[in-house]
Amino acid sequence: MSVISITDVLAGNFPVNESITVHGWIRTRRDSKAGISFLALHDGSCFDAIQAIVPSELDNYESDVLKLTTGCSVKVTGILVESPGQGQAFEIQATAVEVLGFVEDPDTYPMAAKRHSIEFLREQAHLRPRTNIGGAVTRVRNCLAQAIHRFLHSKGYFWISTPLITGSDCEGAGEMFRVSTLDNENLPRDDAGKVDYKKDFFGKETFLTVSGQLNVETYCNALSKVYTFGPTFRAENSNTSRHLAEFWMVEPEIAFANLSDAADLAEEMLKYVLKAVLEERPDDMAFFQQRVDKTVIERLNSVINTDFVRLDYTDAITILENCGKQFENPVSWGVDLNSEHERFLAEEHFNGPVVLQNYPKDIKSFYMRLNDDGKTVAAMDILAPGIGEIIGGSQREERLDVLDSRLGEMGLDTADYSWYRDLRRYGTVPHAGFGLGFERLVAYATGMQNVRDVIPFPRTPNNAAF
């Protein structure tokens, strides 16, 4: 078989008044009194279905066509013609309809042609890509992923697959998943009576990674421009619309670069990928605009066309202290900002994306570069109207003595970071990077309110279904 995609047919890539065969699933069937049926047929290749007009003269009109319901799969052959009606440029005058698969008991088919709640769809994660919204999310998600790879590749970045299973718990074991093949009903014990991880698959205790950053820095210090795009994991008991236990992250890392370079790359990348969505998925974006978020296209255009504000944390504190607004969480220099503060800055004060930078060192990680003031580090968060923080990054501390004293201040043992320290011992270079939560980006681009609805099979506390 060489199957024709409906997106190519609707794009006018096939000659009219000639025979064509398409495959897909029934979205709706409508029968006219004149003895004609209209089938809306979709195959997921684009948002729109194609209309097939089926005359009652077909041999299996009564036996098959009149039994077609939403979700049935068919092969339709007919003459491609220009559509006289509105909306669609082409339709098919069917000469044969072959049923590939009926829907068993249509009355109980979960994806029957009606509106479903987003929560119901989540429970039917194996069927929700068949819905308008599920298909649109999937196509936009794919578009964003392809655009990220394409953008970074075109700028000379190499994709690096950092490991998922890690033996180092440098970033906080409390929020990590353990990976093990030990028999839990009969755990091996060492002499002290503790679980003996020497007997485990990797000969030690291992976890799922929370970030590829430390690992990818090793490649950055050899190939200059690199990035990760892979799954990361957090064993946080967070039941929010912004958290998943398993999610995808994009982490570019740039050698011979400072914080400003990282912010430049982040801004350029965000604009590039959002532009790609508007250009390549107008069908799906029109749907999101109509049904999910009336402002989504305007919002994306605004991000694409606005220079991101660069603002020091210290100046942000001054703005927040003097804005006259009462926040639930009081603001003063040294506190970590809350969502309410971030949204005020991005949505009310600047009404556009903000790169907030140079945070107090005490609220940031050990690997972020200490600024000359001795009080702040070269860290940034990018805040966007409508979602808040979408990117976090920093220039990395490339000076071994400063790194070691930061490790000491935080009560961390330099011995646990020997390979990370090697990068500073051998030809160290200024470098910087950032992390973009991919599901948050998809949610932002589509207007979807919950990251659980933009990943095929979300993993959250008490849920690993399918």
Q: How far is the CB of 323 from a second copy (least distance, A)?
A: 35
Q: How far is the CB of 448 from a second copy (least distance, A)?
A: 15
Three-state SS for 244?
Answer: coil
| Cβ 23 vs Cβ 39: under 8 Å | no
**Cα–Cα distances in angstroms (integers) from residue 317 to residues 269, 331, 339, 350, 379, in the given order:** 28, 7, 14, 14, 16
Q: Give whichever of 255 and 387 is closer to a second copy, judged by the CB atom.
A: 255
Q: How far is the CB of 305 from a second copy (least distance, A)?
A: 23
Q: Which two tokens stand for residue 211?
A: 């970030």
Residues 420, 170: Cα–Cα separation, whole Å: 11
Distance of CA 301 to the CA centre of its chain: 19
Q: How far is the CB of 353 from a second copy (least distance, A)?
A: 21
Pairing of the two strands 90-101 and 158-159: unpaired
| Cβ 381 vs Cβ 339: under 8 Å | no
Task: Name which of 39, 37, 54 is nearest 6 in CA terms.
Answer: 39
Write down the residue that tokens 């051998």 correspond to. 426
Residues 74, 31: Cα–Cα separation, whole Å: 17
Q: Give whichever of 3 and 16 is closer to a second copy, judged by the CB atom.
A: 3
Q: Give whichever of 428 and 450 is closer to a second copy, judged by the CB atom.
A: 428
| Cβ 150 vs Cβ 204: under 8 Å | no
Pairing of the two strands 19-31 and 73-82: antiparallel
Q: How far is the CB of 233 from a second copy (least distance, A)?
A: 8
Distance of CA 59 to the CA centre of its chain: 48
Residues 288, 447: Cα–Cα separation, whole Å: 7
Residues 225, 176: Cα–Cα separation, whole Å: 28
Task: Name which of 331, 313, 311, 329 is nearest 321 in CA terms.
Answer: 331
Q: Give whichever of 204 and 325 is closer to a second copy, judged by the CB atom.
A: 204
One-letter amino acid at 389 equals E
Q: Give whichever of 299 and 369 is closer to a second copy, judged by the CB atom.
A: 369
Q: Give whichever of 4 and 319 is closer to a second copy, judged by the CB atom.
A: 4
Q: Give whichever of 12 and 456 is closer to a second copy, judged by the CB atom.
A: 456
Residues 240, 133: Cα–Cα separation, whole Å: 21
Q: How far is the CB of 423 from a second copy (least distance, A)?
A: 7
Q: How far is the CB of 317 from a second copy (least distance, A)?
A: 28
Q: Give whichever of 28 and 463 is closer to a second copy, judged by the CB atom.
A: 463
Task: Name which of 247, 213, 209 is nearest 438 in CA terms.
Answer: 247
Q: How many CA atoms lie within 13 A of 393 on its CB side?
A: 30
- Residue 300: CB atoms within 10 A of its CB come to 24
Q: Give whichever of 75 and 275 is closer to a second copy, judged by the CB atom.
A: 75
Q: Give whichever of 160 and 443 is closer to a second copy, judged by the CB atom.
A: 160
Residues 65, 159: Cα–Cα separation, whole Å: 49
Write down the residue that tokens 């011992």 correspond to. 425
Q: How far is the CB of 196 from a second copy (least distance, A)?
A: 10
Q: How far is the CB of 203 from a second copy (least distance, A)?
A: 4
Q: How far is the CB of 351 from a second copy (least distance, A)?
A: 29
